[in-house]
Structures are given as C-alpha cells and as structure tokens.
Structure 1
Amino acid sequence: MAVFSKILTMLRGDVHSIGQSIVDNNANRIYEQEIVEAKAHVATARQDLTAVMAKEIQAAREIERLQREIGRYETLALEALRKDQAALAGEVAGKVADIEAALAAQTRVRDELAGHIARLKDLIRGAEMVLRDHERELAMAKTTESVYRATATISSSMGSSGSKLMSAKESLERIKQRHQDTADRMQAADALDGEFGDKALERKLAAAGIGAGPDRKADVLSRLQQRAALAAGASGDKPA
C-alpha cells in the first residue's frame, strides 16, 4: 500500500507538472481570454447599470406625478373649505396624506437607485481602467514573445545553416580569386606584348631614330632650311 500511495503521489506530481507546463506555454492566450471574459462582465454590468438608471428615471417621473397630484388635491381641499365643505375637505386631506406617503416612499426608492448608480459607475470606470492596463500589458507581452520567437528562429537558422553560409563564403572567395587570376593574366599579357609584340618593335625603331619620334621636327626644319639655302643660291640672293 505504501508503494501504491507513492506511485499515486508521483502521478499527481506529473499531472501537475504537465498542467503547469501547458499553462506556461499558453500564458498569453489564457491572459487574453481572461481579459475577454472580464470585458464581457463589464459589458453586462453596463447593461445592468442602464436598467437601474431607467428605474431611477421612472421613479423620478412618478415623483413628479405624485407632486402634481398633491398640488391638485390641496387646491381642491382649499376650495372645499371655502365652500364650507369641512367633511369633504377632510376627505381630500386624507387623500393628500396618502399621496404624500407614497411620495416619500418613491423618493426613498429614487435616492437608493441614485446611490446604486453612483457606485456602479465608479466600479465600471475602475474596471475599464484596469482592463486598459491589462490590454497594454498583453500587447507588450505579445510583442516581447514575438521578439523572443524571432530571435530563437534566427539563432536556429544560423545554427542549422552554418555550413551553408560557410560554403557560400568559400564560393565567394573562389570567385574573387578567379577574377584576380584573370586580371593578373591580362597584366602579364600586356608585359609580354611590351617585350615581344608591336610595342617592343616601336620602341626599338624609336631608339634607332627611325620613324616619327621626338627628333622628327628638328629633321624636318633642317631639311627645309637646306632647301631655302639652295633656292637663295640659285637666285643670287643671300639668305638673311
């Protein structure tokens, strides 16, 4: 029996732990549902308040009617007294007394309703203020949970796709290396062309004074001067 009791205790502990875990995992949803239910209770309280306020309006209307009745019967009693109808005036006075009693009772009812209305209004205002605070807290809790969930998702994605990211980085490095190799080959080709191609030949011709080079202008000028001197000698003039 002792073992069986311990097993039952353990099972109750497991059930409690499972239930607590479910509550923790759905805390925001439970909190939101509690707010929804509280708002429904407040809405019901507002409806009840309107019913009480309607009764107060009815009581006030009845008070006004009774006051008019009292005024009317008092006028009739005075008229009976003026006509020496004392008995009739007494009967009317009794009617006025009954109406005044009803008026007093109705006034008490109206005052009690007014007190209930004031208290209900205070309770509803307080409940609505608390609900607004809870709704703000719920919004903050949802936002915080979303941030945590997004952070966890990013962390999980980075962990699971770390090898993919490394592979992508390696691919990028290979592309960069291929581009660098191409640039180096182009530079080497330019260097070879400078040594063995047309550019090398042009440099050799320029070094030998062949072709258009820096001294070409001087050569042309010297040739023209010689032609001018020959022309002057043939005409008998001396060049200036």
Structure 2
Amino acid sequence: MSVWGKLFSAVRGGINEAAETAVDAQALRILDQEIRDAENALRKARSDLAGIMASAKSLGRRVDEARAKDQKDMESARAAMTAGREDLARQLADRMSRNRADMARDESELQRLQGAQAQMLRAVQDTETRIQTMRREVESVKANESLLQAQSAIASSHAGVNSRLGSAMESLERVKKRQETMAGRLEAGAELQALQSGSSLDQALLEAGIGGSRSSSDDVFAEIMRGDANKALPGPQAPVPGIGYDPKP
C-alpha cells in the first residue's frame, strides 16, 4: 500500500473512531429516539389493524346476509315449484347463482382479511412486548449510567478531598511548628523577665539593708572600735566590754 493509501486509511479510521465516540456519547438519546420511532410505527400498525378488523367485520356481515338471502331464495324457489311456477323458480335460481358468486368472492376476501388480521395482530403484540422489554432495559441502563456517573463524581471528589486534606495537613504542621517556636520564645521571655525581676528585688533588698552582705563605712568603723577589725562580713557580734554591755551574774 502506498503512503497516500495508508494516510487515507488512517483518516478514515480516525473518522470512524470519532463517529463511534459520538454515537457512544449519545447512546441513551439514540435509544430513546429509536423507541419513540418504534412506538409511532406501532401506533400506525394498530390503526391499520383496526381498519382491517373493521373491513373483515363488514365483509363478514355481508357474507352472513348473502347466506341468509340464499337460504330464503332456496325456500322461495321450492315453494314456486310446488305451486307450479317454474318460471319464478328459474328466476330465483338465476338470482341465487349471482348471489352465490358474490358470496364466494366475499368469503375468499374475508379469509384473506382474517389471515392478514391474525398475522398483524401477532406482529403488533410481539412489537409491544419488544418495546416494553427495550424500555425496561433502557431504564436499567439509565439507572446504571447515573450510578456510574455518581460513583465517578464521588471518586473524583474523594481524590480532590484527599489532595486538599494532604495540603491542609501540611499547612497544619507548619502552623504547629510556628506555634511551638512562638511558645518557646514566650517561655524564654518569661524566664528572662523572672530573672530580671529577681535582680531588681535583690537590689531593692540591699538598698533597704535587708538580707545583704554589704557593709557600710559606719559598720566597719564600729567594728574597729570594738577591736573586731578582722571581721569583714556581718553576723553575730561578740559582746564588747564597756560598750552597750550589761553583764549579768
């Protein structure tokens, strides 16, 4: 095959695939339209069947009337022969002959109509059954199609939700880390503040002369006067005789 022939085959294959894809996409709509077309044809068939049945009934009544007339003419002809009126009997015989010929044609046509009526009735009944079956199948296919679409939507939504949840979890972890960092900074700040508060308190106590180890110049001078120059730090003082001392026995 030449290159142009292969290219033409590829183009035809692409067209066929596109056509099949379009048909598949509109399958349910096509089925509904085909069912409507079949129902329209069925209604026409019923109308035709009704016409055939009406014609058969009319023809059947005419055949019955012809038979009754033939029976009556036969009785009249016999009565004419009994009365010696052979001429009347012959006239009745001619009329009966023509009546019987018409009746034979009508009976033949009636049989044909009855056969066509029975055949069409079976076709109508079969078509009704097939349409009902197809209608149920189409409804089942529609339900399955809706279910598949719902499942597909749920699957897509689930995938999207999983993706969004994954992103949200990453954001949550970042927030947690940021909060932990901030909490650590706050704790460190609180500790620093506590240390600073404690230093200020110690400073205030020293300035008030409470709990400190600092000695003023007056204290040092008093120690010199007491002869306790070696004592550098405040503490329990030994009694000095003669200075604020009241010995007890």
Report the TM range for the smaller structure's normalisation.
0.5 to 0.7
Higher helix share: 1
For 2:28, the equivalent position in structure 1 comes to 28
Which protein has the larger Cα radius of gyration, Structure 1 or Structure 2? 2
Q: Report the CA distance between 1:105 and its aligned residue.
A: 1.8
Structure 1 residue identity aligned to 2:12? R
Structure 2 residue identity aligned to 1:112? R
For 2:18, the equivalent position in structure 1 comes to 18
Q: Which runs of 5+ in 2 are unaligned?
A: 176-249
Q: How does 1:5-154 map to 2 (within 5 A)?
A: 5-154=5-154
Q: Which runs of 5+ in 1 are unaligned?
A: 175-240
For 1:233, the equivalent position in structure 2 comes to none
Structure 2 residue identity aligned to 1:105? R
- Secondary structure of the 1:161 match is helix
- Once residues 10 and 89 of structure 1 are traced to their aligned partners in structure 2, the CA distance between those partners, rounded to angstroms, is 89
Q: Report the CA distance between 1:163 and its aligned residue.
A: 4.2
- Secondary structure of the 1:141 match is helix
Paired residues, number: 175
For 1:223, the equivalent position in structure 2 comes to none
Structure 2 residue identity aligned to 1:93? A
The TM-score, its normalising length taken from structure 1, stands at: 0.65
- Once residues 91 and 169 of structure 2 are traced to their aligned partners in structure 1, the CA distance between those partners, rounded to angstroms, is 111
The C-alpha deviation readout for 1:90-135, integer Å capped at 9, x for no partner, is: 1211111211121122112112211221121112112211221111
- Once residues 76 and 47 of structure 1 are traced to their aligned partners in structure 2, the CA distance between those partners, rounded to angstroms, is 43
- Secondary structure of the 1:107 match is helix
- Once residues 48 and 17 of structure 1 are traced to their aligned partners in structure 2, the CA distance between those partners, rounded to angstroms, is 41
Structure 2 residue identity aligned to 1:15? I
- Once residues 171 and 108 of structure 2 are traced to their aligned partners in structure 1, the CA distance between those partners, rounded to angstroms, is 90
- Is the alpha carbon distance of 1:85 and 1:9 closer, same or farther for their aligned partners in structure 2, counting shifts above 3 Å? same
Q: Report the CA distance between 1:72 and its aligned residue.
A: 3.1
Of residues 93-102 and 49-58 in structure 1, the stretch that sits farther from structure 2 once superposed is 93-102
- Once residues 46 and 90 of structure 1 are traced to their aligned partners in structure 2, the CA distance between those partners, rounded to angstroms, is 48
- Once residues 47 and 159 of structure 1 are traced to their aligned partners in structure 2, the CA distance between those partners, rounded to angstroms, is 56
- Once residues 169 and 39 of structure 2 are traced to their aligned partners in structure 1, the CA distance between those partners, rounded to angstroms, is 55
- Is the alpha carbon distance of 1:128 and 1:78 closer, same or farther for their aligned partners in structure 2, counting shifts above 3 Å? same
- Once residues 169 and 41 of structure 1 are traced to their aligned partners in structure 2, the CA distance between those partners, rounded to angstroms, is 63
Structure 2 residue identity aligned to 1:50? A
Q: How does 1:202-221 map to 2 (within 5 A)?
A: none
The TM-score, its normalising length taken from structure 2, stands at: 0.63
- Secondary structure of the 1:159 match is helix
